[in-house]
Amino acid sequence: MTLATAPEGAAMTPGPAAKLGRVLAGLVRRPLSLFGLVAILLVVVAAIFAPWLAPFPPDEQFFDGLTLEGAPLPPNATYLLGTDLLGRDLLSRLLYGARTSLVIGIVANGIAVLIGALVGVTAGFFRGFVGGVLMRFTDLMMAFPALLLAIVLAAIFRPSLWIVALVIAMVNWTQIARITFTETRSLAEREFIEAEWSIGAGRARILFRHILPHLVPTMLVFGTLGVATTVLLEATLSFLGIGVQPPTPSWGNIIYESQTYFTSAPWLVFIPGACIVILALGFNLVGDALRDILDPTQKGRF
């Protein structure tokens, strides 16, 4: 029996594992994206292993955690990053705060991407009255300043970790909706889509086999970049006192609680601020590299 072979020079379509390996190889070979990956990995490890890495419970107040005048202690051998205004160990609160900031960043941005993609794809694929209404609603939401709208929503509902995540998602979905709408309309006018229509392919087949797979790289890139924005917005809301409420630690409310000690105990502000910057920078660097890797016009650069 003769085995059929592919024609010489024919390209084989890489599987999901090969594509993932290609993306990871591209991220590792770029110094900036590698730095971003390391920064994200460190925060993820800190969040997962916080109960084992934290030297003290995050909410425990120590009598020896304050000076005789009642001021926070600077970094020392017992409290490696010092203590806060209530005598709690700052390192322990930062480790547990990484959980809060990371969970809100990923969950809120994931919800925002799903909402935005659903609105954008529906409007771009079906068009007509439905598409017009959805995009006018998107334009209306984009007209409101995101921070102001988030403050209003957070003030209406009782702030908690999941409410804050939902509030952030409700103000961050508009950009991905506009992008997926534009790309869906562009894809719907391509020749291969018209060919599918001509052979009698149904809407479901065209949408799920030809439209959505082409949108996955865009959603992945903006999903990664959006985590940085979400983390910063959560920190802003917590700093304003309408985000995650104490005693649950987050990097934003640690700064909020410590702002009165900015001059006398600057480590209480600078250290959690540096954590926020590093995490946001990490996601931005990885997202920017993913955009270059997944963009077909950049093919062959690595």
Per-residue model confidence (pLDDT) at position 300 = 42
What is the arithmetic mean of pLDDT over 225-243?
82
Task: Give 210-227 pLDDT, tens digit per residue.
Answer: 788 888 888 888 888 888
pLDDT over 50 (residue 9): no
List, in sequence order, the alpha helices (H) in 49-156. Answer: 50-53, 90-126, 128-143, 146-156
Residue 18 falls inside a structural domain: no
Mean per-residue pLDDT of the chain:
81
Residue 128 falls inside a structural domain: yes
Tell me which residue range forms the domain holding 167: 29-52+88-298
Residue 75 falls inside a structural domain: no
Residue 10 falls inside a structural domain: no
∠ CA 131-137-141, nearest 5°, is 140
Contact in structure between 59 and 86 (CB atoms under 8 Å):
no
Cα 291 from chain centroid (whole Å):
15
Cα 25 from chain centroid (whole Å):
22
Residue 60 falls inside a structural domain: no
Per-residue model confidence (pLDDT) at position 94 = 93
Residue 123 falls inside a structural domain: yes
Per-residue model confidence (pLDDT) at position 7 = 41
User: Closest Cα partner for 221 from 283, 284, 280, 291?
Assistant: 291
Residue 7 falls inside a structural domain: no
Per-residue model confidence (pLDDT) at position 206 = 76
Q: How many domains does the chain have?
A: 1
pLDDT over 90 (residue 96): yes
User: Closest Cα partner for 75 from 249, 244, 265, 221?
Assistant: 265
Percent of all residues in the chain with a pLDDT value above 90, rounded to a whole number = 13
Q: Residues of 56-95 as b/e, b for ≥16 C-beta within 10 angstroms? A: bebeeeeeebbeeeeebbeeeeebebbbbbbbbbbbbbbb
* Residue count (the chain): 302
Per-residue model confidence (pLDDT) at position 10 = 40
Here the tokens at position 151 are 């403050």
Indicate the pLDDT class of residue 201, thresholds 50, 70 and 90: low
Per-residue model confidence (pLDDT) at position 86 = 86
Task: Give 258-270 pLDDT, tens digit per residue.
Answer: 888 888 888 888 9
What is the arithmetic mean of pLDDT over 141-162?
80
Indicate the pLDDT class of residue 44, thresholds 50, 70 and 90: very high
Contact in structure between 301 and 292 (CB atoms under 8 Å):
yes
pLDDT over 80 (residue 38): yes
Which CATH number does the domain housing residue 139 bear? 1.10.3720.10
Location of structure tokens 């946001």: 280
Q: Which helix (H) or strand (E) holds 68?
A: none
Residue 255 falls inside a structural domain: yes
